[in-house]
Copies of this chain bind each other. A is one copy, B any other.
Amino acid sequence: MLSRVVSLQRRPVGMPDLGDFQVTETELGEPGPGEALVANLCMSVDPYMRGRMVDRKSYVPPFAIGEALTGGAIGRVVQSNDPALAEGDHVESFFGWRDAFIAPAKQLNKLGELSAPASAYLGVLGMPGMTAYVGLLEVGALQEGDTVFVSGAAGAVGSAVGQIARIKGCPVIGSAGGAAKVAHLKDDLGFDHAFDYREGNISAHLKDAAPQGIDVYFDNVGGEHLQAAINHMRPNGRIPLCGMISQYNATAPVPGPNNLAMAIGLGLTLRGFIVSNFNHLRQDFLRDMTQWVNSGELSYRETTFDGIERAPEAFIGLFKGANTGKMIVNLNA
For A258, list chain B residues within 8 Å (CB): 253-256
Binds B, one of A14-22, A115-123, A272-280: A272-280
Number of copies: 2
Given contacts A255-B255, A256-B256, contact A241 B263 (CB under 8 A): yes
Does residue A270 face the partner (Cβ distance < 8 Å to B)? yes
A235-B59 in contact given A255-B255, A261-B222, A261-B244 (Cβ < 8 Å): yes
Most buried by B among A235, A247, A254, A277: A254
Is A79 positioned at the interface, with any CB of B under 8 Å from its CB?
Answer: no
CB–CB B235/A264 < 8 A: no
What residues of chain B lie closer than 8 Å to A2, measured between beta carbons?
A: none
Task: Answer whether residue A229 sits at the interface, using C-beta atoms and an 8 A cutoff.
Answer: no
**How many A residues touch the partner, as a band?**
35 or more
Check A267–B272 contact: CB distance below 8 A: yes
Q: Contact string, A232-265, partner B, CB cutoff 8 A, digits 1/0?
A: 0001100001111001000001111111111111
Across the interface, do A270 and B270 meet the contact criterion of CB distance under 8 Å? yes
Q: For A257, list chain B residues within 8 Å (CB).
A: 256, 260
Contact present for B273 and A267 (CB under 8 Å):
yes
A204 contacts chain B at the CB level, 8 A cutoff? no
Tell whether A58 is near chain B: CB-to-CB under 8 Å.
yes
Asked if residues B267 and A269 are in contact (CB atoms below 8 Å), the reply is no
Query: Are the C-beta atoms of A264 and B243 separated by less than 8 Å?
Result: yes
Report whether A59 and B265 are in contact in the complex, using a CB–CB cutoff of 8 Å: yes
* A interface residues, Cβ below 8 angstroms from B: 51, 58-60, 222, 226-227, 235-236, 241-244, 247, 253-274, 277
> What would 20 A/B residue contacts be, using CB atoms closer than 8 Å?
A58-B265, A226-B260, A241-B260, A241-B261, A241-B263, A242-B264, A255-B256, A256-B258, A256-B259, A256-B260, A260-B270, A263-B270, A263-B272, A267-B272, A267-B277, A268-B272, A269-B269, A269-B270, A269-B272, A270-B270
5 nearest A-B residue pairs (beta carbon) = A256-B256, A255-B255, A263-B272, A253-B258, A264-B272
